[in-house]
Each structure stands twice: as structure tokens, then as C-alpha cells.
Amino acid sequence: MNQINNNAVPLPQTEVCENIVEVKNLKKYFPVGKSFWGKPTGYLKAVDDVSFAIKRGSTLGIVGESGCGKTTLGRTILRLHPITSGQVFFEGQDISSLSGGEMRKLRPKMQIVFQDPYSSLPPRLPVGEIIGEAVKVHQIVPKEQYREYVLDIMHKCGLQDFYFDRYPHEFSGGQRQRICIARALALKPSFVVCDEPVSALDVSIQAQIVNLFKQLQKNNDLTYMFISHDLSVVEHISTDVGVMYLGSMVEMADKHSLFGNPLHPYTQALLSAVPVPDPHYKSKRIILEGDIPSPVNPPKGCKFHTRCSKCMEICKNECPELKDVGNGHLVACHLYDDKENK
């Protein structure tokens, strides 16, 4: 499949766009296997026709099982992966077909915090250089203010002055993740993709890092896309939540609606697996039967129907659309077809 160049008309420009990011029918397919002539014999559909918007100053949590396409979605939005088809608007501008040079100018505004704080830091650079390298490249501040600026960013992220000349191997996992956050924050971004930033940390450190994210968001007017498989963390930090399954968005709502009234059978199964800190509470765990289908050859109709206890005949043949069933609660399930537009 060739990459599609979109010549879409940009959204009308206003002084401040309500939605800092808008994703429309985004697809990211990876070729798998090659024929004798070198052409791909199939495609892994990592992100398959996903659409949503993120409001300025909010946090969109993205959840789902491992391999559902969460990380690929985040990286494709930032153009770290080339887009197969679809559109991504950032602050009203269609960035899906921008050149490398044009994207380079936008990079400071769109940053990412990676999952593994151990492998995402260069081991041979001191902390000050790690945080400040991109500051020099993008000329965020004058040269004479460089060190003072980097130290100020370090303070905001809970790092001491004497860390400036130390190397990553001298720090714990939590401190390394603070360095990663400082590196992203140093470019004065308005949108940050947080790719499972606490999954590699101890539980006691996770709370500190999540609280740091919330504090930085409040003080710097940041917008987050927070990717995680830990639903309790997502509930704590997110404004809205999207649930992905096999590359598609199956449910999306504000966190109170989604956690209080999950509609999709897959979302209900995920929430039933969240442990409750009450020894007397007996949760009704929903066990999903069968294996996750291959993203190279997903099932016809609803992708979840092979594991769904509420599967109907229509689910096997027709793919449900993501519909609003009331109060902005979106769900892709044939169980709610009669509630469309109500």
C-alpha cells in the first residue's frame, strides 16, 4: 500500500483552536512479507480508521490490551511514523502531508515521553546536555541564558542543580523519568504524548510521576495524550478516555461516564479486571474467551465479535460505527444501534 498524500483544506484558522489535535480516519499499516517481486503480501493494520479530537488543556487517556495500537497511534500523530492515510490537524493545521523541514519547525510544540526511562536516555551525555541539546538546536533561549534555563526546567521537574553534570547510569528509574519529562518540557511544548510513562516504575514512584504530570499541566497549560494499560492511573490523570481494540477505537467518553457506565463489552471486561482495595468486595470478573485475532487478518464485521459473549449475527458481518449514544459518549457496538442520535 502506498502512502497517501492528503491535499485536504486546513481547518478555518482562529485565534485559539478549541481542539489542539484532531485526528480524522487515521490509518497506519505496516507491510509484512514480500512476494518474489518484492511487493508486500499483506499489511499489519496497527491503526485502522481512528478519529477523535483532544481539547486544549485536557488529557485524553488511551487504554487497551498490549498490541492494540496505542503506542503506534501516538507516534503516528507526531509523524514519527509516516501516515498511511487520514489526516492529523495540530492547532488547526493539517500536518499529515507536511515536509520534513516543515515538521521540524513544529517539533518543539509536539513532544513525547517514552515508556522506558533506561533506554530512552543517551548514556554518554550528562543530564544538562540531554535536557538542553534540543534547546540549542531550536534556539529556545539565547546562549548566555542556556544553563540558567536548563536548571530552571530541572527544578520544575524535581531535579537538583548538581545533577547537571551527572550521567544517566547514576540515577534511579524515577529520576530518569523526571529527566525525560524535563527534556520534553524544555522545548515549551503545548502537546505531549505520554507513552506509558509510569509502567516501568515502582508503584510508589508512579504516584509521584503522575502528580508531577498534573502539576506541570496546570502550570504550563499542557495538553496530554496519556497512553497506558493501567486503568487506575488513567482514571486519576485523564479528562477523557478512549478504548482501543485491534487498531480501532471502540469507545470514547469523559472519564466519569466511561468508568461509571461502560457500554462496550470490551470496556466492561477491562474494567472488571481492575483490582479493588477492599478484601470484602467480590468483583464480577468478565473473562474474555479465545485469543486476540491477528491484526494482519482481522475478522470480518466487528473485530471483537470472536471474543464477545453478546455477539449477534450482525456483528459477524457488519463493522459497527463509532456513534454518539448520548452526552458525547461514543461507542462502536451494534447493541446500541437503536440509540443513535438519541
Q: What is the per-residue pLDDT across 208-238, written as a single tens digit (0 to 9) for each?
A: 999 999 999 999 999 999 999 889 899 999 9
Q: State residue 290's pLDDT score.
A: 76
State the pTM of this model.
Answer: 0.89
pLDDT over 70, % of the chain: 92
- For 37-95, how does the pLDDT look when each residue is reduced to its tens digit (9 = 90+)? 888 888 999 999 999 999 999 999 999 998 899 999 999 999 999 999 999 999 999 99
Look up residue 105 and give its three cell numbers: 519547525
Amino acid at 252: M
C-beta pairs of 76-80 under 8 Å, 24+ apart in sequence: 76/26, 76/28, 76/47, 77/21, 77/23, 77/26, 77/193, 77/225, 78/110, 78/112, 78/193, 79/103, 80/112
CB within 8 Å of 86: residues ≥ 6 apart = 6, 23, 24, 25, 26, 27, 49, 50, 96
Q: What's the mean pLDDT when you consider all of the chain?
A: 90
Q: Is it the case that residue 17 has pLDDT exceeding 70?
A: yes
